[in-house]
A and B are shown apart, each in its own frame.
Chain A
Amino acid sequence: MKKHPPFSLERLWAILVKEFTQMRRDRLTFAMMLGIPLIQLMLFGYAINSDPRHLPAAVLLADDGPQGRTLLYALQNSTYFDFTRQVRTETEGHDLLARGQVQFVVNIPQNFSRDLLRGERPSVLIEADATDPAATGIALGSLGTLLNTALANDLKGPLAFLNATPGPVDLRVHALYNPEVVTQYNIVPGLMGVILTMTMVMITGLAITRERERGTMENLLAMPTRPAEVLIGKITPYIMIGYIQVAVILIAARVLFHVPMHGSIPLLLIVALVFIAANLAMGITFSTIAKNQLQAMQMTFFMFLPSMLLSGFMFPFRGMPHWAQWVGEVFPLTHFLRIVRGILLKGNGLPDVARELWPIALFAVIMMTLGIKRYRQTLD
């Protein structure tokens, strides 16, 4: 019996041509592939801020001396607090907090200035609505140093002794890679990974199920073709889409969000290929398991949510318990986020990148093998 070659470039080419033609015809999906990164960039890039400022605050000012006022000005100038209300009683303040109309109530007691000058260490009470810790955390954290520097101007000459004495250690903090703590510098490169994960897994997830739903799978299977030809032929066009998305995000990062790009962009593009391949392989594997397009979509979201939440995109990776970190390490997105942030913000080179690259590559290989194994050549 004549043996047939296990892989035919001609058939692969046939499938490529078909997929590209179909992709070109499917304008809506094509537009979505470009629209999704743009919309998400606008939403996340401009909307999300993990360092919230101008939080509404109420003040209960019972003191009529100058130091109380100085303190308020200092709080306002920190840009964390916007004093929108003045209240006369504590209950009034509590009501505002309960209704969510203010985030803080600053309570400066009677005789604050007098007691301060007397060296009696008067207290200032700040009550915060801490239901969302992220919203209040940074503002509250800034308070300690704020108080000392705010009053430094008033406490001069003979009053200088009231200034806080420097601690035994001179603490210096350098916030490396993102000294101004701009959220976008973190979010926008991260979005590259999130958007690629979502669109790549979904679009290929639909690839095989669509053929099955439209009844064309039977025709494809009746032809003398191999699983690898079909799968690779279906994946390749989307690699191109993935690169268009990467380009859109990189340009936006540069032009709109002024994200620093310290590392090598070509290196990033090469790494992105491995990441895209990993996601496409996962999508194609879903595609061979799901019975219809709806199931493929559900599987995509089943995968997408944990990888978004556990990868370190939304919440700090190191803040998670160890088991969750282990789960997170499985997702290609986790490693890609480290790579893309590393290359752009830290200027990481190949040796640093390689450490995060192999888990993605391993994931891609396992998924692709699974996909080819699962792909059935019969209708059984």
Chain B
Amino acid sequence: MADDLAIDVRGMTKRFGDRTVVNDIALQVRTGEIYGFLGPNGSGKTTFIRMLCGLLRADAGSGTCLGFDVINDSEDIKRNVGYMTQRFSFWEDLSISENLDFVARMYGVKNRVEAVRQSIERLGLAGRQKQLAGELSGGWKQRLALAACLIHQPKLLLLDEPTAGVDPKARRDFWEQIHTLAAEGLTFLITTHYMDEAERCHRLAYISYGNLLTHGTVDDVINHVHLTTWSVTGPDLIQLAEQLRKQPGVQLAVAFGNMLHVSGDDAAALEKAIAPFRKAPHEWQRIRSGLEDAFIHLMEHSKDNFSA
């Protein structure tokens, strides 16, 4: 069983001063899986990833990453992991091919010249290999970063918000590539804020204030939250939302385009609360809660849950 797990860690904890940034997180990621890592800004996602690849020393925790001890064998882990930082972290005053060449040398890649050439070709960067990395647009920088992370043929890729600031077309291409690579046996741990990306992951984990709140498939996560959701269409939705928010039993009233999603985790209480509003000109319909409803709910209530 353990052979099937690319990441298998328990009790991972990191404190900065007296602030606990990552609190006792256990995570298991299967080989060949695309694992989505979600949570609001500052929830500890980046810190957790940094601990996995040896960039930060964990204060507590144990387990394995690619079969190596996550605390003591960071050197081995580094050799087999590709880490794409949140902020573009390649050298802007080096060209594309120089950046790839440097990375290949650092990892001691065999047939380096060939590996660099192939990597440039595969990513469709062939015409621009002499261009300085700093002159690239966001999408191209992201492609370069991914190419550089792959050049030493890692078994696990840790991608920290890889598509932040990238246009939809480039994002779609990027995810297509991720799925192709995963099919070849690569494992991915990806942090993201985008719901559509979260839904493309095989499994998800949601963390907030350093705590792992829920994990599993998209359906698991939605079911875990036990949310009932109604959608409302009609005029003056903003005012309606304001009134609804004051009702007990209504936990969320969020606008989605021309629609309002009204949710609560107690179906009966919610139904009672919205009863006076269920009249013309508004049209009410009970819908299946989406991932976004679930996440907004988690985000808004996680603090209360854990301070209680």
Contact = CB atoms under 8 A, between A and B. Distances in A.
A378 B91 CA distance: 19
Contact of A13 (B76, B98, B105): B105
A17 interface: yes
Contacts of B83: 219, 222
A155 interface: no
Contact of A225 (B53, B81, B106): B106
B83 to A, nearest CB: 4
Interface string A212-236: 0011111101111100000000000
Interface string A1-32: 11010001011011101100110011000000
B269 interface: no
A218 B108 contact: no
Contacts of A17: 101-102, 105
Interface in A10-58: 10-11, 13-15, 17-18, 21-22, 25-26
Given A1-B73, A215-B85, A216-B89, A380 B57 contact: yes
Contacts of B53: 222
Given A218-B89, A219-B90, A223-B78, A10 B108 contact: yes
B176 interface: no
B57 A378 contact: yes
B54 interface: yes
B103 interface: yes
A270 interface: no
A334 B287 CA distance: 81
A26 B105 CA distance: 23
B88 A25 contact: no
B195 interface: no
Interface in B100-123: 101-103, 105-108
B235 to A, nearest CB: 48
B78 A378 contact: no
A18 B57 contact: no
Given A14-B106, A25-B93, A222 B87 contact: no
A255 interface: no
Nearest to A222: B83
A18 B55 contact: no
A222 B55 contact: yes
B108 A18 contact: no
Interface string B41-59: 0000000001001111100
A169 interface: no
Nearest to B51: A378
Contact of A22 (B76, B89, B93, B106): B93
Given A2-B76, A26-B93, A222-B78, A11 B106 contact: yes
B123 to A, nearest CB: 18
A216 B90 contact: yes
Interface in B118-166: 132
A113 to B, nearest CB: 77
A223 B85 CA distance: 12
B94 interface: yes
Most buried by A among B88, B91, B101: B91
B12 to A, nearest CB: 15
A224 B104 CA distance: 12
A8 B79 CA distance: 14
A21 B94 contact: yes
Contact of A380 (B56, B92, B98, B101): B56
Nearest to B78: A224
Contacts of B242: none
Nearest to B160: A218
B102 A14 contact: yes
A379 interface: yes
A221 B83 CA distance: 10
Nearest to A224: B78
A217 B73 CA distance: 21
B85 A218 contact: yes
Contact of B91 (A10, A216, A218, A222): A216
A378 B94 contact: no
Contacts of A8: 108
Contacts of B103: 223
B75 interface: yes
Given A14-B106, A21-B94, A26-B93, A4 B75 contact: yes
Interface of B: 50, 53-57, 73, 75-76, 78-79, 81, 83, 85, 87-94, 98, 101-103, 105-108, 132
Interface of A: 1-2, 4, 8, 10-11, 13-15, 17-18, 21-22, 25-26, 214-219, 221-225, 378-380
4 tightest Cβ-Cβ pairs between the two chains A and B: A14-B105, A219-B89, A224-B78, A222-B83
11 contacts: A10-B108, A17-B101, A214-B91, A215-B89, A218-B85, A222-B81, A222-B83, A224-B107, A378-B55, A379-B50, A380-B56
